Structure 1
């Protein structure tokens, strides 16, 4: 179990790296999984982590579960690691698009200002 201070710090870090709203992220996950013939059900769109981020964004801090805190730590670590890794200016456009999409799957759009 995480103590209150750790949970508060994690909440702030999570909301610093997740700069998409729950509605923006859900829309992205549906678009990401759609193809020309089908579109997934909203509750089945995206990765399990992406769907969990949507659920966390819709919660109050006091309603977080241990599983939510685990996912929040994972998202903060993954976004921070990917943003730091790709700060190099010579990333090719296709690689940059894939990186942006991976980050958006976690709720971070690198082209959008932080919330």
Structure 2
């Protein structure tokens, strides 16, 4: 299990979208067009993006165990998704990029 310092460091590197950009992205049709909804109408990634905004609004010293757990989940998701490499062409408008952006990472940013 990673320490809070390890999670924090990876989070700072991987969650590269500023809160204002992430908020605007989450309001877009493209953001809401990707991901597994599990039949609930909102994708896991879109829900995660809203949670990321909550976490980014806190100081490191104010983060609780649920925040740290979600941050670890976000870091793991971004790393796994980046390892897939995405499409060779049209990355800018790909579901791969859109999904990553829901999780706070713009691979082109």
Shorter-chain TM-score bucket reads 0.7 to 0.9
Q: Which has the larger radius of gyration?
A: 1
Q: Paired residue for 2:18?
A: 21
Question: Structure 1: any 5+ residue segments left out of the alignment?
Answer: 35-45
Q: In structure 1, how many angstroms separate the alpha carbons of the residues matched to 2:80 and 2:15? A: 14
Q: Are 2:8 and 1:11 equivalent residues in the alignment? A: yes
Q: Paired residue for 2:85?
A: 86
Question: Structure 2: any 5+ residue segments left out of the alignment?
Answer: 34-44
| Runs of 4+ deviating beyond 6 Å | none
CA RMSD of aligned residues (A): 2.6
Q: Paired residue for 1:37?
A: none
TM-score by length of 2: 0.76
Cα contact 2:32–2:46 (8 A) shared by 1:
no
SS at match of 1:51: helix
- Correspondence list, 1:65-80, <5 A: 65-80=64-79
Q: Paired residue for 1:62?
A: 61
